[in-house]
Amino acid sequence: MSASQSASWPSGTPPWWTTAVVYQVYPRSFADSDGDGIGDLRGLLDRLDHLDDLGVDVVWLSPVYPSPQADNGYDISDYTDVDPVFGTLADLDELIEALHTRGMKLVMDLVVNHTSDQHDWFAASRSSREDPKRGWYVWRPPRPGTVGGTPGAEPNNWGSFFSGPAWTWDEATGEYYLHLFSDRQPDLDWDNPDVRAAVHEMMRWWLDRGVDGFRMDVINMISKDPALPDGDLRDGGPLGDGSPYFLCGPRIHEHLQEVHCEVVAGRTGLLTVGEMPGVSVDEAVLFTDPARAELDMVFQFEHVGVDHGATKWDVLPLDLRELKASLGRWQEGLEKTGWNSLYWNNHDQPRVVSRFGDNGAFRVRSATMLATVLHLHRGTPFVYQGEELGMTNAPFASIDDFRDIESVNHYAEAVAAGGDPERVLAAMRRVSRDNARTPVQWDAGPQAGFTTGTPWLPVNPNCREINAAAQRDDPDSVFAHYRRLIALRHELPVVAHGDFTMLLPESPDVYAFRRRLDDVELLVLGSFSGGRVSVELPDASQWAASEVLLSNLPGGVPEGRGLVLEPWEARVLSRAVGER
């Protein structure tokens, strides 16, 4: 039985987003129209042809709301406006209109696990213990028997994601507030019905304005175990891991069903995506089961953790078998119920061609191979700006070149703890989020055509070779290959809806799988090797007369080649099979 027959969609037909491709814009680094060195909405408006040419269906816009920018906009101080650095609400209205005219949709980033410490809600909440908004955030007294503000007096031992404790002492009111991220990002208390009502109202306000959905930031962290217990100690230090008490917490499904009911139900054509670090396949099935009315899809993290040691800063070499085991498990787990999102990159991940490919001699080949493997899975692919050009990690020279709060805090903490600065930096060059955030490389001119001013984060010097202008009309470019992959998903039902079977799970250098829908079968092969490899498939002879649907070799696969792959080659074969 094929997956399209087995998957259960309430209406009987798969939703529109099962054949869609999403493109993520990180506005700060996309295109700058006014020369202040920071990308903006008018810059994006000027570049919509690029997205149109690529053929994507949806734009996910990282936060453009007013923000002190402690975490580049993931610290919001006003949910219903646009930060002047990015433009105005009128620009945003124009963007919605322009995208809709071109047949694309706009999905906003929704950051409601926390606000900025500069949000009016938090200003009120911290003003006094009696303020009506005190209970909108998570305030707690010091640990019994300790003196507030002294080390170890925090209400529990949780560490924050951005180094240091997850609690900050407020001298004026004599309590601590919780922040899973930086101290500039206090967590909202979702147990408080007024908080939930305010969030629902704000979401409706955006939908009424014309946006088409939300990507929900760390949404599986909004429900905490009310006892806030200590976590197991991390790395032998004083801080504990609170994740068992805040990931997919006790009321998470209830809260998301309420969001669906209060905000989404009754509207059509929307997309809701939950970003969920640490989510399991079983939880993801619950979140995305259409019958439960929670979310359309989740952004999971398992496959981007395969090269992490004890922390993300301990970088391990890629073991392809683990990557396949992980993605294969998710394909299988969400085959009958629910839906996967597919991604290699976003604004938090290093560039995939530098991470899992070869960003030297085989940059184009390995970038197109990685794209092929990902886009031929079942799920909704997400392309992060610059990925479609094969952009690489950046050559950061010293700590002064980094801007990201996570990286900057990590360096300070690791070096203070006695770490060798050069080793700390070496890891940061590989995994820092700033790798994803260098400006988009539009052309070979000054500042890569990103800005007429000084960019907030330096342009990668490889922009002279790697840029959009050089690729747009080149049929062998990374850009052209992404365009073909996106078109394939739109044109071939087997790509969107076919079932998925992983092949050769034990091969250390070949990624191979089959897709099948009705009488069409695809074989997808990707080489993760810099040498030639032979693919040992038991049914190899059956593919001898098949059609080459897609190849990343200039000129295509040579006649009579057989199942031997060139370095970093990707090949998609198609054949007709008897109806099952």
Active-site residue flag, 404: no
Residue 57 CB-half CA count within 13 A: 19
280: CB partners within 8 A, 6+ apart: 248
Q: How far is the CB of 550 from ligand TEU (least distance, A)?
A: 31
Q: Which two tokens stand for residue 538?
A: 């038991």
* Binding mask of the shown chain, residues 253 to 292, with x at each position contacting ligand TEU by CB under 6 A: ------------------------x---------------
Q: Which of 258, 348, 434, 521 binds ligand TEU (CB under 6 A)?
A: 348
Nearest residue to ligand TEU, by Cβ distance, number only: 74
Backbone angles phi, psi at 570, to 5 degrees: -125, 140
Cβ nearer to ligand TEU, comparing 274 with 526: 274
Given the residues 275, 294, 302, 348, select the one marked as catalytic: 275
Distance (Å, whole) CA 214 – CA 385: 18
Residue 218 binds ligand TEU, judged by CB under 6 A:
yes
Shortest Å, Cβ 405 to ligand TEU: 8
The residue within the footprint of ligand TEU, chosen from 122, 181, 382, 482 (CB under 6 A), is 181
Q: Is there a contact between 442 and 467 (Cβ–Cβ < 8 Å)?
A: yes
Q: Which is nearer to ligand TEU, 276 or 364 (CB)?
A: 276
Closer residue to ligand TEU in complex, CB, 311/454: 311
At 30, which amino acid appears? F
Number of residues counted as binding ligand TEU (CB under 6 A): 13
74 sits near ligand TEU (criterion: CB under 6 A):
yes
Say how far residue 77 (Cα) sits from the centre of its chain. Answer: 23
CA distance 68 to 81: 14
Query: Tokens at residue 573, please?
Result: 């074969």
- Choice between 139 and 246, CB closer to ligand TEU: 246
Q: What is the CA radius of gyration of the chain?
A: 24
Can you tell me the distance from the alpha carbon of 422 to that of 565, in angstroms, rounded to the nearest whole number? 38
Q: Which is nearer to ligand TEU, 386 or 498 (CB)?
A: 386
Binding mask 310-329 for ligand TEU (x = CB under 6 A): --x-----------------
Contact status: 111 vs ligand TEU (CB under 6 A): yes
What span, in angstroms and rounded, lies between the C-alpha atoms of 82 and 42?
Answer: 12
- Closer residue to ligand TEU (CB): 122 or 181: 181
Spot the catalytic one: 212, 217, 294, 358. Answer: 217
Is 168 in a helix, a strand, or coil? strand
Q: Is position 169 an interface residue for ligand TEU (rule: CB under 6 A)?
A: no
H-type helices in 47-183, by residue range? 48-54, 89-101, 120-127
Q: How many helices (H) and strands (E) does the chain have?
A: 18, 20
Indicate if 217 belongs to the active site. Answer: yes
Q: Which is nearer to ligand TEU, 122 or 513 (CB)?
A: 122
Angle, alpha carbons 77-83-88 (nearest 5°): 135
Shortest approach of ligand TEU to residue 301 CB, angstroms? 7
Least distance (Å) between residue 406 CB and ligand TEU: 6
54 φ, ψ to 5°?
A: -70, -35
Residue 494 in tokens: 């087997």
Sign of CA dihedral 398, 403, 404, 405: positive
Under rule CB under 6 A, residue 110 binds ligand TEU: no
| By CB under 6 A, residue 307 contacts ligand TEU | no
Smallest gap from Cβ 179 to ligand TEU, in A, equals: 10
Catalytic residues: 217, 275
Q: Which residues bind ligand TEU (CB under 6 A)?
A: 71, 74, 111, 161, 181, 217-218, 277, 312, 347-348, 406, 433
